[in-house]
Structure 1
Amino acid sequence: MIKHIVLFKLKDPSAENIEHTVSVLRGLNGKVEQLRSLEVGIDVVKSARSYDIALIAEFDSLEDLEGYQVHPEHKKVIEHMSQVRESQVAVDFEY
C-alpha cells in the first residue's frame, strides 16, 4: 500500500476559499478508480508553521499512484490547485 500526503498553503486562506478548495479535493472521491481512500482536512491550529489543508490518499501500489497522477479528474484538481495554492509539500511512502 502507498500513502500519499499533501499539505497545501493557500494564497487566500479565507474560510470561504478553504471550504471551496476542500470541496474540490473531496470531489475526487469515487471518480478515480485507483484511489482506495481519501481524507481531506482543514487545519485547526492556525499557527505560523501550519498549512491550511491536508490531503491523505491511499493506493494499492506505486503503479496506482502513478495512474492517479495522470488521471483526467486529478488533472482538473491540479489546475484548480495551481491557481489557489501558495505552496505545497508532499510525501509518499509504502506501508
Structure 2
Amino acid sequence: MWDRIRRSGTRIVDSLRTEPPTGGRETRTHNLFEAAAAYVSACAEDDQDRIDEASAWVSPEALSFGVNELACRAVIALARERDESPRTVARALLGLPAA
C-alpha cells in the first residue's frame, strides 16, 4: 500500500516539474546570483552565447534582482577600496560629473 502511495506522489511531483526529464543525467540548477555573475561577466566580454545561456537559468525578474545586488556589492567594494563614497564611485563608473 505504501508503495502505491509513494509512486502516486512521485508521479504528481514529476508532473509539476518545469524542466524536461534528463534521461538519467543529473542536471545542476543555478541560483540567481550565479546567473547574475555569469550574465554580467558575459556582457562585459560581449559574449552573446553566454548571455543567452545565463538568461535562461532563472526568470527575468530574478536575473534583474541578481544583477542589481551584484552592482550594489561591486560599488560598495570599490568604494571601500578607493576610500570614497558609493555615490561618488557609481557616478564615476557611469561617467557622470561629481554631484
Q: TM-score range by the shorter chain?
A: under 0.3
With CA pairs under 8 Å and 6+ residues apart, which has the higher RCO, 1 or 2? 1
Q: Judging by fraction of residues, say which structure has more strand.
A: 1
What TM-score results when the alignment is normalised by the length of structure 2? 0.26
Which structure: larger Rg?
2
What TM-score results when the alignment is normalised by the length of structure 1? 0.27
Q: Judging by fraction of residues, say which structure has more helix.
A: 2
